[in-house]
Structure 1
Amino acid sequence: MTEILTRLPQLGQWGGTDELLAIQDQQVGQLLRWAAASPFYSRRFGAGVPASRADLLALPLTTKQDLRDNYPFGMLAVPKERLATYHESSGTAGQPTPSYYTEEDWVDLTDRYGRKWVGMDASDTFLVRTPYALMITGHLAHASARAVGATVVPGDNRSLAMPYSRVVRVLHDLDVTLTWSMPTETLLWAAAARAAGHRPGTDFPALRALFVGGEPLSPARRRRISEIWGVPVVEEYGSTETGSLAGECPHGHLHLWADRAIFEVHDPATGRTSPDGSGQLVVTPLFREAMPLLRYNLEDNVEVSYDGCPCGWHLPTVRVLGRSAFRYPVGAANVTQQRLEELVFSLPVQDEVLFWRAKAEPQRLTVEIEVPDARRDGACLALAAAVREEYGIDADVVGVPPGSLVPLHLLTAVHDVVKPRSLFGADEDWGKALLYY
């Protein structure tokens, strides 16, 4: 695997955009030959196999529906015996979106995920708090940490075996140094820690960074999470179909891994694509052999820029807005989750607002925030004023007691996880026969 890693581009091997494009061009021909072995792309190519970047960019976009229509192995480009893992994304379309990788593909995957400005090594204890079942996210972080010798704590967030009370205990007792989760998880941990009598920014001294991804993150919420825990929040962006696509540099910018993939921005209104600007992100992983993806439209709304960054990585930056930017009309305004979240988490930290929700109706915006009694009136007035200034509309801002949006029992419960059984005593509930939870 070390030999494979030496063939992959590494940060610092190019000095600007032209050299970066040359690195891409060196791999395009090989990628297209790999793709020709896939039944899906073999049909798409017809009689001839494309060989250049120009040929690649002339191909139609690959869509999520293409992957679903070719479930399970219509995209496979290697003998099935070479596969190392099979995955499906977390989409809600009701149809499986398959994805699979060889052992060699995994070298590229783990190396990309490991590109964190907060380094990870054998001295770290790493809590992985993302799903393991079918999606790649938990397995990717786990494999990347093991590749550098770190101790992994597999804290799957889709298992009753790992309630929030247990997460807090593990964080505290095991001296966890790094974590991987969605941003919302870190706020839930903070509430659970306080419910257990801990102070998030003080009682977890081993913690040195929080790795987050999987949902849009506004600058204000990011700052609030960092303020609560007293450590950096390091953002990651990717998907089950592609692995890591972007990571954060020491200057806080999210950079696309354009040495390992070709990125385009697609305008669904015009059908045109460009290297930068605003639109849907299209990605062509360059070192994906098991399941090549050519011009794959992730359908995530992004803003991509090639402006310079002090980090010197010479990679494009990306701002991820989400699948549809969660935009809803209210009166004459268009309300987005990203911007509304920015307003909520711009409230003073003393207001202790961690959780909120909003309902956008054609003529009315209602926002609920969890806030202690002593801070309720001031926080509601301040948020209503911020919404009025931002959108020019009056919002009904309602303060609710802590525990209203995220019930306390979810933060403190300890579940019994038992094995299935069939024989019960006279005073036992045999309705649980064969079930385990």
Structure 2
Amino acid sequence: MDFSVEYLEIDQLRALQSERLMNLIDYLEEKSGFYKGKFNELGISSQDIRSIEDISKLPITYKQDLRDNYPFGLFTVPKNELQRIHCSSGTTGRPTVVGYTKEDVDLFSEVVARSLYAAGARPGMQLHNAYGYGIFTGGLGLHYGAEKLGMSVLPISGGMTTRQVDLIMDFKPEVICCSPSYALTIADEFAKRGITADEISLKYAVLGSEPWTEIIRSHIEEKLGVHAVNIYGLSEIIGPGVSMEDFEEKGGSYIWEDHFYPEILDPATKQPVPFGEEGVLVITTLTKKAMPLLRYWTNDITSLYYDKNSKRSMVKMKPIVGRSDDMLIVRGVNVYPSQVEEAFSHVKGVIPNYYLTPVEKEQMCVALDIDLEIDNDFVTSQNFEKNSDDYSNFIKNFEHTIEGEIKKRVGITTNVKIHAQDSLPKCEGGKINRILKKK
């Protein structure tokens, strides 16, 4: 594969983006009744878009637009020209449907292959693919991308954790992909069997589909002996492979902006924020054919930056703080689960398997209840007898320490309840919801 586009000079990249955006607007004027109507409402045409700098003139597209045009109203090709269809699970209203031409499937494979290479994967390696197959884009997306890179793929999908561990030990893959929460579950299964990191063949873990923090990264890397890196994407844009961390850099993910142009907008005003500031990530698909989207509102909160020490010239995005619709307001303080997780990660002995339950009083969220696990080895090192007064006092002090750390770093009141390791529900293959029903 040719990765040279990742190293284009910025002016060359902007010229490529401008050309692709102008071609896209011409294409949408001809092929998309939805966008043609939006252009007429705004009083704009292709003549008003002369460079990538004009992108702010274009309409924002929302998930509701996909639902309102269910199932195929946003497609720009006839159904018989589609090679693949994916859709969301539809757990909240109608599912969102996305389609791919042969060119789109090739593009999907290309950006995933590019992402896997950045993650450390190389031709000839084996990928243990524990992402779900089916209508979810993750399983097939990683599968095709790995094959394009020249890897062999075990398409095991999610679940059956004991079998996953058996096959990793037997087949000895170098790379695994799954959600971060499921990687924790797999790591715990290895630990239960007494299998240490140096006995595991895995070298790279490609993790995505949910926000995660450094405490989860360090736990996975320690238990599995891997470089754990984040892959980002969403089905409306293409699937995984929109953005990828480099295994030698970490902390920020390259956006493959020759295909996906990113903006950061203010959640309230919908206007661009100054470069480097936090807001909602908005993405325009510059090269898709079956269902191109203009300025798609992802709901993910992040910021963009350029790193002068980076290998590549493309922009990076910082780790997702959370989704704008997952934000909790606790006594006037805006809080995302990842912020709480980052705060308690500073307390030794915490296992990053937790749940948040908002506590409401008089129609206001006044606190968060947090159910959280403690490391068994850490407890054992304290030399307390189980159920003794000393043990009970230790647990109470541990809970208060975590509450104090969250208060100091996030500024909210929490009620922490500590549970033994492996006693809270775990992820069994897909995404995990850390926020439980309000009390």
Regarding TM over 0.5, the answer is yes
SS in 2 for 1:343: helix
Match runs of 1:113-124 below 5 Å: 113-115=112-114, 116-124=117-125
1:207 corresponds in structure 2 to 202
Task: Kindly indicate whether residue 239 of structure 2 is the aligned counterpart of residue 246 of structure 1.
Answer: no
Question: AA paired with 1:265?
Answer: I
Per-residue deviation, 1:181: 0.9
1:33 corresponds in structure 2 to 26
Per-residue deviation, 1:399: 1.9
Q: Give distance in 2, aligned partners of 1:81 and 1:55.
A: 34
Q: Give distance in 2, aligned partners of 1:332 and 1:42.
A: 41
TM-score, normalization by structure 2:
0.81
SS in 2 for 1:123: coil
Q: Tell whether the 8 Å contact from 2:244 to 2:255 is kept in structure 1 after alignment.
A: yes
Q: Give distance in 1, aligned partners of 2:285 and 2:337.
A: 30
Deviation readout 1:113-158 (Å, 9 max, x if unpaired): 222423433422211112222121111100001112312111222x
Deviation readout 1:86-127 (Å, 9 max, x if unpaired): 011346431121111111112221121222423433422211
SS in 2 for 1:265: strand
Which of 399, 406, 411 does residue 380 from structure 1 map onto?
399
2:94 corresponds in structure 1 to 95
Residues 396/43 of structure 1: CA separation in 2 closer, same or farther (3 Å cut) = closer
Residues 390/102 of structure 1: CA separation in 2 closer, same or farther (3 Å cut) = same
Residues 148/309 of structure 1: CA separation in 2 closer, same or farther (3 Å cut) = same
Per-residue deviation, 1:38: 2.1
1:236 corresponds in structure 2 to 231
1:57 corresponds in structure 2 to 56
Question: AA paired with 2:294?
Answer: L
Which of 357, 362, 367 does residue 364 from structure 1 map onto?
367
Residues 118/21 of structure 1: CA separation in 2 closer, same or farther (3 Å cut) = same
2:9 corresponds in structure 1 to 15
SS in 1 for 2:73: coil
Q: Tell whether the 8 Å contact from 1:246 to 1:257 is kept in structure 2 after alignment.
A: yes
CA RMSD of aligned residues (A): 2.7
Q: Tell whether the 8 Å contact from 1:221 to 1:341 is kept in structure 2 after alignment.
A: no
Match runs of 1:240-389 below 5 Å: 240-243=235-238, 244-249=241-246, 250-252=248-250, 253-274=252-273, 276=275, 277-305=277-305, 307-319=306-318, 320-324=320-324, 326-331=326-331, 333-348=333-348, 351=349, 353-361=351-359, 362-371=365-374, 372=376, 373-374=379-380, 377=395, 379-389=398-408
Residues 87/387 of structure 1: CA separation in 2 closer, same or farther (3 Å cut) = same
Question: AA paired with 2:369?
Answer: T
Task: Kindly indicate whether residue 80 of structure 2 is the aligned counterpart of residue 81 of structure 1.
Answer: yes
Q: Give distance in 1, aligned partners of 2:36 and 2:330.
A: 48
1:418 corresponds in structure 2 to none
Query: Number of paired residues?
Result: 394
SS in 2 for 1:202: helix
Question: AA paired with 1:328?
Answer: L
Per-residue deviation, 1:9: 7.0
Deviation readout 1:181-237 (Å, 9 max, x if unpaired): 111111111122223x13241331x21110011111112322222122221111111
Residues 328/187 of structure 1: CA separation in 2 closer, same or farther (3 Å cut) = same
| Higher mean displacement: 364-373 or 290-299 | 364-373
1:424 corresponds in structure 2 to none
Question: AA paired with 1:39?
Answer: G
Deviation readout 1:384-431 (Å, 9 max, x if unpaired): 3322322455543322123320379x89xxxxxxxxxxxxxxxxxxxx
| Higher mean displacement: 108-117 or 181-190 | 108-117
Q: Give distance in 1, aligned partners of 2:22 and 2:333.
A: 48
Q: Give distance in 1, aligned partners of 2:329 and 2:55.
A: 39
SS in 2 for 1:262: strand
Question: AA paired with 2:288?
Answer: R
Q: Tell whether the 8 Å contact from 1:251 to 1:310 is kept in structure 2 after alignment.
A: no
SS in 1 for 2:6: coil
Task: Kindly indicate whether residue 147 of structure 2 is the aligned counterpart of residue 146 of structure 1.
Answer: yes
Task: Kindly indicate whether residue 148 of structure 2 is the aligned counterpart of residue 155 of structure 1.
Answer: no
SS in 2 for 1:273: coil
1:404 corresponds in structure 2 to 423
Q: Tell whether the 8 Å contact from 1:187 to 1:225 is kept in structure 2 after alignment.
A: yes
Q: Give distance in 2, aligned partners of 1:316 and 1:124.
A: 28
Residues 279/392 of structure 1: CA separation in 2 closer, same or farther (3 Å cut) = closer
SS in 2 for 1:297: strand
Per-residue deviation, 1:271: 2.8
For structure 2, list consecutive stretches of 5 or more residues without a partner in the other structure.
360-364, 383-393, 430-439
2:189 corresponds in structure 1 to 192
2:126 corresponds in structure 1 to 125
1:419 corresponds in structure 2 to none
Per-residue deviation, 1:282: 1.3
For structure 1, list consecutive stretches of 5 or more residues without a partner in the other structure.
412-437
TM-score, normalization by structure 1:
0.82
